[in-house]
Amino acid sequence: LSKVYGPVFTVYFGMKPTVVLHGYEAVKEALIDLGEEFSRRGSFPVIERTTKGYGVVFSNGNLWKETRRFSLMTLRNFGMGKRSIEDRVQEEACCLVEELRKTN
pLDDT of residue 83: 67
For residues 52 and 45, what is the distance between their CA atoms, to the nearest angstrom?
Answer: 10
pLDDT of residue 71: 87
For residues 33 and 27, what is the distance between their CA atoms, to the nearest angstrom?
Answer: 10
- Cβ atoms < 10 Å from Cβ of 18: 10
Instruction: Give the max Cα distance, the chain.
Output: 69
> pLDDT tens digits, the chain, 104 residues: what are they?
888 888 889 999 888 888 889 999 888 888 888 877 777 777 777 877 887 777 777 777 788 888 889 988 888 887 777 766 777 888 899 999 999 999 87
Total-model pTM: 0.45
Between CA 47 and CA 75, with CA 42 as vertex, the angle to 5 degrees is: 65
